[in-house]
Amino acid sequence: MNYTKVYKETQIETASPIKLIVILYEIIINSIEQSKKYMEDKKFDLANKELSRAQDGIIELIAALDLEKGGDIANNLYSIYLFCSRRLFEGNIEKKPQILDEVKNILVNLKEAWEKIATMTSEESPTQKEEGEKTVKSIDIQG
């Protein structure tokens, strides 16, 4: 039995929607870091696989956005996610790890912001939490 996998699955199944977003950022960032290592080792097929996983994660972030209710914030995140996806594609084609670092830094900053939101919402009343959870769509984080 793979206890790490069971732990991660339990963590995902019991997480709030906002925490799921944070977990998704962690998965994407980890995939970018792995891809960079593979790229530096000239293991381009493995680097491509990890970048595909990262881009799939970004697609999930885009799918989780509610552009109607989210207003400017959702639209700005949409633009950032598209930029990150495009840069990952360019980094993969050009085999430039520094481009991956650029995207990773953007996503780390966004992840930290979501972590702050998660902390703030964990301090809210149950009714406030329920209202916030209704606005986050489901995401698929299988890799």
Tens of pLDDT, residue by residue over 86-124, are 999 999 999 999 999 999 999 999 999 999 988 888 766
Into how many domains does the chain fold? 1
Residue 143 lies in a domain: no
Rounded CA gap, 99 and 96, in Å?
Answer: 6
- Buried-state track 5-35, b at ≥16 Cβ within 10 A, e below 16: eeeeeeeeeeeebbbbbbbbbbbbbbbbebb
Residue 92 lies in a domain: yes
Q: What pTM was computed for the model?
A: 0.78
Rounded CA gap, 86 and 131, in Å?
Answer: 33
- Residue 52: which of 64, 40, 38 has the closest Cα? 38
Residue 9 lies in a domain: no
Domain range for 75: 17-133
Tens of pLDDT, residue by residue over 6-22, are 656 666 666 688 889 99
Residue 12 lies in a domain: no
CATH code for the domain in which residue 82 is found: 1.20.120.340
Residue 4 lies in a domain: no
Rounded CA gap, 137 and 114, in Å?
Answer: 15
Rounded CA gap, 53 and 13, in Å?
Answer: 20
